[in-house]
Amino acid sequence: MVLDASPVLSFDKQYIQSYGDTGFKVSDKAYTTPIIVFPESIEKWVLDKENEFSIKNFNPLLELKNKPEILLLGCGKVAKLVPEEIRDIMRNQGIVVEPMGTGAACRTFNVLVLEERNVAAALLPIE
């Protein structure tokens, strides 16, 4: 199943067009793995264990010079609790982590990008 996540957009920012159990379509490019989407770029999100979070998984965000203020964490079908250690480290770096279902994270990312917010979305496919 694939669900449309965005209105038709035409600007120089990344936007999530669709998401589903096989992956994502972001700015006309398909991805079949977990991803981290920034307004200006996208990268593969490498997890140690399938769909489990460790602080190591968030290093790409922590190493950024311009860290996002908000990290939308698309956890699959439903939100998952983020370990307190990860929340604390991210908060100390100025990043608020918002766990939610992947669909909600995709839609929220698009809205926040349109508002020109400093946001990132770390997304797991819906299973």
Taking residue 48's Cβ as centre, other Cβ atoms within 10 Å add up to 9
The per-residue pLDDT for range 50-79, each reduced to its tens digit, is 667 888 999 989 999 999 999 999 999 999
**Which sign, positive or negative, has the C-alpha torsion 103, 106, 112, 114?**
negative
pLDDT tens, position by position, 32-41 = 999 999 999 9
Counting every residue written for the chain, the total comes to 127
**Tokens 């956890």, residue located:** 75
pTM above 0.85, yes or no: yes
Q: What CATH number should be reported for the domain holding residue 32? A: 3.40.1230.10
As a whole number, mean pLDDT of residues 25-52 equals: 90
The pLDDT value given to residue 52: 75
**How many structural domains comprise the chain?**
1
**14 lies in which domain range?**
2-123
Residue 104 has pLDDT above 90, yes or no: yes
